[in-house]
């Protein structure tokens, strides 16, 4: 699904939906707004119309991959935490304990989830 059409761009929930797990919908929406504002600012400096197809396409290119990755991750977490079989619980708990001990990895994941890496 495209985020853009001639003369307009969708942001946030209008462009994509995500399971409310971990509250990532707002962060993705803020990232969309930031990217669109960046592209509109670049367009203005270059003397281009804000509705220019290339301007809007740059916005979509910047956001779509990141949004799809986060949406897939949240769907994976939903599936992982929605299962209660013993092997799945063991794997989930072991993975979370390991992650909790890996400070730099944990910090990177937290920053990514908060939208601080883009």
* Domain locations in the chain as residue ranges: 4-82, 84-118
pLDDT digits (tens, 9 = 90+) for 28-77: 999 999 999 999 999 999 999 999 999 999 999 999 999 999 999 889 88
Residue 52: what pLDDT? 97
Q: How far is CA 38 from CA 63, 70, 74, 102, 111, in A?
A: 12, 21, 27, 34, 21
Instruction: Compare 40 and 23 and report the one with higher pLDDT.
Output: 40
pLDDT range class, residue 22, cuts 50, 70, 90? confident
CATH fold for domain 4-82:
FAD/NAD(P)-binding domain (3.50.50)
Cα gap 95→66, rounded to integer Å: 24
Q: Using pLDDT thresholds of 50, 70 and 90, give the confidence band for residue 90.
A: very high
Prediction pTM value: 0.80
| H/E element, 4 | strand 4-5
């Amino acid at each position: 699904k495209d985020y853009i059409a001639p003369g307009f761009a969708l942001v946030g929930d209008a462009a994509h939906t995500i399971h409310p797990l971990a509250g990532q919908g707002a962060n993705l929406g803020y990232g969309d707004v930031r990217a669109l504002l960046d592209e509109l600012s670049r367009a203005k400096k270059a003397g281009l119309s804000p509705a220019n197809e290339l301007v809007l396409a740059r916005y979509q290119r910047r956001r779509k991959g990141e949004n799809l990755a986060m949406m897939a991750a949240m769907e994976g977490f939903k599936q992982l935490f929605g299962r209660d079989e013993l092997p799945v619980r063991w794997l989930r708990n072991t993975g979370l304990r390991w992650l909790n001990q890996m400070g730099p990895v944990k910090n990177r994941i937290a920053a990514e989830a908060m939208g601080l890496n883009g």
